[in-house]
Amino acid sequence: MRKFPLSLLSVAMLVATNAQANDGEPTVMLGHETITISKEAGKYVAITPNSLKDDSPLYETAQSVSVLTPQQVEQKQASTVAELLENVAGVSSGVQGRRGWDDFIIRGQVSSNQMYVDGMRVQMSSNNLRAWDVAGADSIEVVKGTTTTGYGMALPSGIVNITSKRPDSETFAKGKITVGSFNNKEFAYDLNYAPNDSKKGAFRLNGRFSDRDDATDYVYFKDNYIAPSYTFDLGDDTDLTLLGSYQWRDYIRQQGLPHNNTINLTTGEQTVRNAHEQYSSSTFFGLPDYGYEQKTLRLGYDLVHRLNDKLTFKSIFAINKTDTDGKPVLSTAHNNFYSTGNIGRQINNQIKKDTMLTSDNRFETYFNTGNVEHDVTVGLDLLREKSDYYRRNDRAYPNFDINNPSYDVSSITEGTPSQNITTTQYAGLYAKDSMRYDDWIFGASVRHDWAKTDVDNVLTGANAKRSDGEFTGSVSAMYDYQGKFAPYVSFGTSFQQNTSTGQNGEVLDPEKGQNTEIGVKFQGFDKRLQGYVSAYDITRKNVAETIYDDSGISTGYSKLVGKQRTKGFEFETAFVMNNQWNISGSYSHIPTAKITKSTTTQDIGKRISQIPKHSASLSTQYHFSPDRLGWYVGGGIRYQGERTAWRGTSFMDLPAYTVLDAKAGYEAKNWGVGLAVKNLTDKDYLIGTTPNSQLVSYGEPRNIRATLTFKY
């Protein structure tokens, strides 16, 4: 009989900390297990155990996964996915500035385009311009390591998966009004109508209106999001939910300032100028009327049909359509910024229309062979994306003079346009078996992908095609010691079709990788303490990078730069001491993050750009009343070790920083107020650089947010 141990640590920030979770007992999501804290017993009751496309509890899965619940999202008052991931072990988020996209690095590898919603990828094409609205998230999962069976073509470092909010079994109405620093104004709502006191026949509508400025002059972010969903009542054996969402975004990106630090690639001699230090971090060199507008429509369904007690069919489908119209003003000709204060302006006209269809269909079954329990999944997932991307770089005059700033344009010289239509298709057939024999748990999976990429150059008529197929797989072994400790070892391979094109218009070779991981998951004190320790070794081959010209502007093509390897250690833990007090922490050490093979010989042996060796976080929250009503206080500390950003002859040493956060509030049964302060001491620190490493950005200064919540 299957036990119900908790998963590994899947709350890397605040565990069981939400006073707004519901009107009854507080809840925590650990992996895909939802945990209810009993007020009477102070213990956990595990319900709805699940895992990555099977029904094994994550405690029995030889993989590191961090899961953030919507309650934690509400408490942190985060406005972006990158902000939510700040405290997750092995993840660096927002390192390329507040440019309006979800940027994150997982285990030393840039993974910004490894974003999934409801287990399905939202983008295959290059040029990630997206940011998913956190208001629609029921949970956010960081699945680390290879995800061969569950998610197919993905990097071996991991992915981020957002699970959409679904109809609930209780009728409720929730709302939140937020005001704060930088003219932050936000209203979020979550309405659920359950006429049968069941999820079946229930309707849910959630959304958010947000308007906020930035610490950088003229930078702003406006977001509107709405997501309806409905679950049909088709009997006890069938669950069918229709899901929809519409997101509208209008923003001007923050980019930082040139630092003008260079290195001689032949002699290794460095010239350090740190030109950005001469001027205010609020300086904006772009044009106030030139930004982005983006519209995203997503429609889909989630079907579960139980054929009998041991066999279940699951099917999910989504169509995702995104239209982006952008005119960001980028910097060019800024090599003498340190002496002249001048920055050349380039208007990067971008029109990107993406349509993606995704589907995953699988059977799950359970059976025994002798004393061995099997949890088997067999499935097929499909993807088709058409991406129409037009771009033209125009030169705007005059240059920006930081000593005499002007936002007028006297003339614009149009550049040469380019337009590619990239069609990507793939099918993945997979099988997975999780086997349990006494206290031993073994896992094995295999997958075959068929992928095809077709690139049409609209302006020249040229065409490039590439078809690839690859087997990938994974194996693992774990020993469950009395439901308290579970040491494990796993190995997996990865495959990802490349959609980027080279200098001659050819589709680049696919990327391949592998991940080896050993670790221990643990839990104790009636499962109120849980966590994991893991060490990993990741290799990526055929890594593609965008190529920039000498002025730091993208050339529009990429090249395979070689092979990268990262080795690291992670630790995450959370302890719910009682209904009033909890504490959580994480630590990541990445001693090796280097380029082991490259077409640019000077890059071999270098550390991968912007990867810290050390990062850590610690947070806590205390409720003054055992029923979690009334006053509460909390705080946290985030540490990011020193890093170096580099690309070509440009480099920037980024010092280590430590940031403090604090919060306090009052919760009644039907309403609440809260105050959260990020960067409590208003510390100046460098968050990272643009991808070309030529512009450096400061982290967000002190940010105060006050909230008023209501729930009925």
State the Cα–Cα distance between residues 575 and 141, nearest whole angstrom: 20
Give DSSP secondary structure letters for 577-629.
-SSSEEEEEEEEEEEEEEEEEESSGGGTTPBPTT--SEEEEEEEEEESSTTS-
pLDDT of residue 622: 95
115 pLDDT more than 60: yes
429 pLDDT more than 80: yes
State the Cα–Cα distance between residues 573 and 553, nearest whole angstrom: 43
pTM of the model: 0.89
509 pLDDT more than 70: yes
Q: Which two tokens stand for residue 238?
A: 């069938």
Burial of 696 (0-12, 13-18, 19+ CB in 10 A): buried
pLDDT of residue 56: 66
Q: Helical H runs in 145-286? A: 148-151
Q: What pLDDT band is residue 546 in, cutting at 50, 70 and 90?
A: confident
148 pLDDT more than 80: no
Share of the chain above pLDDT 70, in %: 90
Q: What are phi and psi of 274, to 5 degrees?
A: 45, 55
Q: Is 354 helix (H, G, I), strand (E, B) or coil?
A: strand
26 pLDDT more than 70: no
Give Cβ neighbours of residue 184 (< 8 Å, ≥ 6 apart).
178, 210, 211, 212, 213, 703, 705
Q: Which two tokens stand for residue 706?
A: 């006050």
Q: What is the DSSP letter of 78?
A: -
β-strand 158-164 against 115-117: which pairing, if any? parallel
Higher pLDDT: 600 or 128? It is 600
pLDDT of residue 102: 85
> Could you report the per-residue pLDDT of 481-505, keeping only the tens digit for each?
998 999 999 999 999 888 888 888 8
600 pLDDT more than 70: yes
- The four Cα atoms 103, 109, 111, 112 give a dihedral, to 10 degrees, of 20
Share of the chain above pLDDT 90, in %: 67
Q: What is the DSSP letter of 25?
A: S
pLDDT of residue 55: 65
The backbone region for 521, taken as left when phi is positive above 0, alpha when psi lies in -120 to 50, beta otherwise, is beta
State the Cα–Cα distance between residues 537 and 215, nearest whole angstrom: 39
Amino acid identity at 645: A
Least confident of 122-126, 257-261, 277-281: 122-126
Give DSSP secondary structure letters for 509-556.
PPEEEEEEEEEEEEEETTTTEEEEEEEEEEEEEEEEEEEE-TTS-EEE
Angle at 560 between CA 557 and CA 565, to 5 degrees: 135
> Could you report the per-residue pLDDT of 627-650, keeping only the tens digit for each?
989 999 999 999 999 999 998 899
Mean pLDDT score, 11-15: 34
Domain residue ranges of the chain, discontinuous segments joined by +: 27-404+414-423+438-711
State the Cα–Cα distance between residues 321 and 352, nearest whole angstrom: 11
Q: What pLDDT band is residue 23 in, cutting at 50, 70 and 90?
A: very low
Helix H, strand E, coil C: the string for 89-147 is CCEEECCCCCCCCCCEEECCEECCCCEEECCEECCCCCCCCCCCCHHHEEEEEEEECCC
Give Cβ neighbours of residue 139 (< 8 Å, ≥ 6 apart).
29, 67, 68, 69, 70, 162, 163
Among candidates 546, 644, 529, which has minimal Cα distance to 582? 529
9 pLDDT more than 50: no
Average pLDDT, the chain: 87
Among candidates 540, 426, 419, 438, which has minimal Cα distance to 482? 438
> Could you report the per-residue pLDDT of 59-95, keeping only the tens digit for each?
778 888 887 776 676 777 778 888 888 889 999 988 8
Give the CATH architecture of domain 27-404+414-423+438-711: Beta Barrel (2.40)
Question: What's the distance, Cα to Cα, between the start and end of the chain in Å?
Answer: 40
State the Cα–Cα distance between residues 208 and 195, nearest whole angstrom: 25
> Could you report the per-residue pLDDT of 550-581, keeping only the tens digit for each?
666 777 778 888 899 999 999 999 898 888 99
Give DSSP secondary structure letters for 436-481.
EETTEEEEEEEEEEEEEEEEEETTT--EEEEEEEEEEEEEEEEE-B
Q: What pLDDT band is residue 587 in, cutting at 50, 70 and 90?
A: very high
> Could you report the per-residue pLDDT of 675-709, keeping only the tens digit for each?
999 999 999 999 999 888 999 999 999 999 999 99
Give Cβ neighbours of residue 330 (< 8 Å, ≥ 6 apart).
255, 345, 346, 347, 348, 552, 553
pLDDT of residue 70: 67
State the Cα–Cα distance between residues 120 and 360, nearest whole angstrom: 8
pLDDT of residue 234: 95
Tokens 């302060």 correspond to what residue?
A: 677
Q: What is the DSSP letter of 87?
A: G
Q: Is 383 helix (H, G, I), strand (E, B) or coil?
A: strand
Mean pLDDT score, 375-395: 95
687 DSSP β-pair partners:
none
Judge contact between 573 and 587, C-beta under 8 A.
Answer: no
State the Cα–Cα distance between residues 574 and 530, nearest whole angstrom: 6
pLDDT of residue 24: 39
Integer-rounded Cα Rg, in Å, for the chain is: 25
Q: What is the largest CA-CA distance in the chain?
A: 81
pLDDT of residue 406: 93
Judge contact between 595 and 545, C-beta under 8 A.
Answer: no
State the Cα–Cα distance between residues 54 and 363, nearest whole angstrom: 9
16 pLDDT more than 60: no
Q: Which two tokens stand for residue 230?
A: 């409905």
Q: What pLDDT band is residue 477 in, cutting at 50, 70 and 90?
A: very high
pLDDT of residue 598: 83
Give Cβ neighbours of residue 404 (< 8 Å, ≥ 6 apart).
none
Q: What is the DSSP letter of 508?
A: P
